[in-house]
Structure 1
Amino acid sequence: MCNVVSKDFKAVVIRNRGLFKDYAQLVPEAAQAFLKQGHLVQNSSGLEVAFYEPKRGEDHLEGTFFTGYLVHEKAEMLPNGMEYIDAVQTYASIRGKTSEVGDLHSRLNRWLSENNRQQSTDQYIIEVFYPAPNEEEEAEVFIPIKD
């Protein structure tokens, strides 16, 4: 089920760049690299997060993305190579199994179209990952929308 929510995402992340067509491989690799340093993050919620620059057209081939942890508040010191993001926005959201994250994006985009909502291409698309002991991890996708 799709929802509209206003959220404030605070995160400590590592910045990455890559071709949009390679994101399915690049993002998990970047997330694994981040986890090796994740213990250095203060005020961590323990939830993994990814922020994506939206693709703005067919000629927009390369984008910036961030992988890291959601945090409860900004730390006084950030680990080397990491940065703090605070994203406050209205989002359309959907939650499901991590293995279905591509389908979650498709369903959410279809819902936006059916409900006459527009994506805000000036804000990051966000995915939050929820561990589920003895079950498959869940993901929640947040697409920024225009008010």
Structure 2
Amino acid sequence: MECKKVKQVFKLVGIKGHGSFEAFGVEVPALAQQFLTRSKEVESRSSTEIALFEPKKNINHLEGNYYVGLIVNDTLNEVPSGMEYIEKDQHYVTARGKITDISNLHLHLLNWAKEQNYDRDLDSYIVETYHPVENSEEEVEVYLPIHS
């Protein structure tokens, strides 16, 4: 599993959700399915699904915000009702792997970032992009925000 540091710009249109961190595994995919039923309303959309997650800052931080949506190719001035346009320009550490191994992917990336002495930015959203793979299970690319 290759880890690396990148500077990345994400442009997306998505729907905001909020819930307990423990329930993200169920709530996020459910909201993503709801969003996808309206995806044709999004101009300049790509086929890449994306999710943003508020990082859990400490053990007492029990709830957080998240967004699910699609990457868009252009800056948008108008978006469908109930959706938001978001642009993130940030330094990240990133790794890609099978979606069924997402917990280990996050853990491996966290450990690698710590070994490299990267300082996590807990005020910026964690980003995940989802990539169907032909004849295989979906892959996810995880981007953990760091201070540059």
TM-score, normalised to structure 1, is 0.97
Within 5 Å, which residues of 2 pair with 1:30-109?
A: 30-109=31-110
Distance, in Å, in 2 between the alignment partners of 1:35 and 1:133 is: 20
Distance, in Å, in 2 between the alignment partners of 1:6 and 1:145 is: 10
What's the RMSD between the two structures over aligned residues? Answer: 0.9
1:126 aligns with 2:127: yes
1:110 aligns with 2:111: yes
Cα distance, 1:127 vs structure 2? 0.1
Q: Provide structure 2 residue ranges, at least 5 long, that are not aligned to the other structure.
A: none
Cα distance, 1:131 vs structure 2? 1.5
Deviations 1:34-67 (A, max 9, x none): 1111111111111000000111111111100000
Distance, in Å, in 1 between the alignment partners of 2:122 and 2:16 is: 18
Runs of 4 or more off by more than 6 Å in structure 1?
none
1:2 aligns with 2:17: no
Q: How many percent identity over aligned positions?
A: 39
What residue identity is the alignment partner of 1:26?
E
Q: Provide structure 1 residue ranges, at least 5 long, that are not aligned to the other structure.
A: none
> How many residues matched?
147
What residue identity is the alignment partner of 1:52?
F
Distance, in Å, in 2 between the alignment partners of 1:32 and 1:117 is: 34
1:28 aligns with 2:29: yes
